[in-house]
Amino acid sequence: MNIQLAYGHRQISLDVPKKRVLSVVKARKTDQQLSQINSVEEALRCPKNSPTLKELVYQKTAQNAVIVVNDITRPTPYQEILPPILDELRAAGIQEKHITLLIATGIHRDQTEEENKMVFGEEICSKYRIINHNCDHDLASVGMLSSGMELLINKHAVEADLLITTGLVGLHYFAGYSGGRKSILPGIASRSAIEASHKMMSDTRACLGNYQNNPVSDLMVEAAEIAGVDFIVNVVTGSHNEILHASAGHVYHAWIDAVRFAEQMSVVTIPEKADIVIASCGGYPKDINMYQAQKALDSASLGVKDGGTIILLAECPEGLGEDTFEEWVMTATCTEDIEKRFFEKFELGGHKAYAICRTLRKAEIYLHSSLQDNIVKDLFMHPVHDLQDLISVLLKQYDPEASVIIMPEAPKIALRVNGKE
């Protein structure tokens, strides 16, 4: 069987004996009929377990509003999402000068004015105040989390008469799914709260596609409720960033509605786990660096047998991609060093190194990339230059009935074994 796999800006062709291929796993084709609501306007007219946005303005006698928005690292179609929200707020009597867009940067850098124009459009940028969140400054307390930690979030959100959050719902490697509650924690929370929530990824329930009894997700839901989010608008998008489904209303109920739509697309059932999983990130920009490419490993790990092999295709033209991640990798002599550091001296960025170690506990990893061999070895992976030869060697090493799963766009998929949760 010939298979084409994306690698950077090009394709790599591989031949795998058809009788060995258990499954070529792809996201399900999107059927517009799956969604009864595929525009933001429709979602605003039919909010989930909530009054409409206009009704909320009247009920709260709101004079101002803060809308929490994603930064540029999460491609969200804001030029379709924001205008109907802003129209509704203005129609309810809130003036443009009293509406603020608060960018949920988490621990990321500030978004530039030029990037704001790219994301939101020049007209919105010219009419509304836009503020970057800073996880170390301008914070206010909204109460205590059940974990015992005080929840500090951006003061502008705390002071708002009406707090609206927006976002994109898709798979997330330890929160289960993005969107919804993530606008508050980590989006506009303090550094200490963000670090505490990321550290919880060590729990086995904090994994790709799991949103039930996931301690990270549960804490994020709690944070959003404590923060007093009044209304959310979340969307699920397709491969061209088009809106496939929109949901609005209550902070949990609207989010879970979007999650269940995303789940129909992204969770794929396989008959059993395989000895070998061949995974591509889906090409550029998903394999721009190892910090991003790591997401494919979480997907692949769900389909590989314990003690099996993952072959990852990720060009990584920009290297490892994040300073703390790189420092953790380069200074570790073994995976145990990284795991010990994660629990004893946690740092954001280092959590990605821990995530790789989590996969390495389960399977060997071979990496085809543009990284130097010594850097690949520092990642505790095996560098591979001839993929076709490696596949032949591995098939001979395994049992004659060795099975292979191929994942052309691994980060888009969460695998489930048939008959198992």
For residue 419, give every residue at least 6 positions away whose Cβ sits within 8 Å of its Cβ, in sequence order, or none: none
Q: Quick one: tokens of 72?
A: 């540029």
SS3 content of the chain, % helix, strand, coil (to 5): 40, 25, 35
Comparison of pLDDT for 264 and 98, the residue scoring more: 98
Q: What is the pLDDT of residue 412?
A: 87
- Cα 45 to Cα 40, 50, 65, distances in angstroms: 9, 11, 19
Average pLDDT of span 88-113: 95
- Collapsing DSSP states into helix, strand and coil, what is residue 389? helix
Cα separation, 241 vs 254, whole angstroms:
20
Verify whether residue 98 is a known catalytic residue: no
Identify whether the C-beta of residue 187 lies closer than 8 Å to the C-beta of residue 277: no
Average pLDDT of the residues of the chain: 94
Q: What is the pLDDT of residue 418?
A: 84
Q: What is the pLDDT of residue 109?
A: 85
Judged against a pLDDT cut of 80, whether residue 34 lies above it is answered with no
pTM for the whole thing? 0.87
Identify whether the C-beta of residue 165 lies closer than 8 Å to the C-beta of residue 133: no
Q: How many of the other CB atoms lie within 10 Å of CB of 33? A: 7
Average pLDDT of span 355-377: 97
- The region of weakest confidence among 71-75, 96-100, 105-109, 319-323 is 71-75
Judged against a pLDDT cut of 60, whether residue 32 lies above it is answered with no
- Confidence band of 331 (pLDDT split at 50, 70, 90): very high
Judged against a pLDDT cut of 90, whether residue 108 lies above it is answered with no
- Collapsing DSSP states into helix, strand and coil, what is residue 105? coil
pLDDT in tens, 285-329: 889 999 989 999 999 999 999 999 999 999 999 999 989 999 999
- Cα 390 to Cα 96, 393, 403, distances in angstroms: 60, 5, 15
Q: What is the pLDDT of residue 419?
A: 64
Backbone angles phi, psi at 101, to 5 degrees: -95, 120
Verify whether residue 108 is a known catalytic residue: yes
Judged against a pLDDT cut of 80, whether residue 358 lies above it is answered with yes
Q: What is the pLDDT of residue 240?
A: 78
- Collapsing DSSP states into helix, strand and coil, what is residue 72? coil
pLDDT in tens, 58-79: 999 999 999 999 998 788 999 9
Judged against a pLDDT cut of 90, whether residue 13 lies above it is answered with yes
Identify whether the C-beta of residue 23 lies closer than 8 Å to the C-beta of residue 231: no
Average pLDDT of span 216-235: 97
In order of their start, the domains of the chain are 2-28+271-417 (3.90.226.30), 32-266 (3.40.50.11440)
Average pLDDT of span 138-155: 96
Judged against a pLDDT cut of 60, whether residue 31 lies above it is answered with no
Comparison of pLDDT for 79 and 30, the residue scoring more: 79
- Cα 403 to Cα 12, 94, 277, 416, distances in angstroms: 21, 60, 9, 16
Average pLDDT of span 98-102: 98
Q: Of 98, 133, 156, 172, which residue is the catalytic one?
A: 172
Identity of residue 224? A
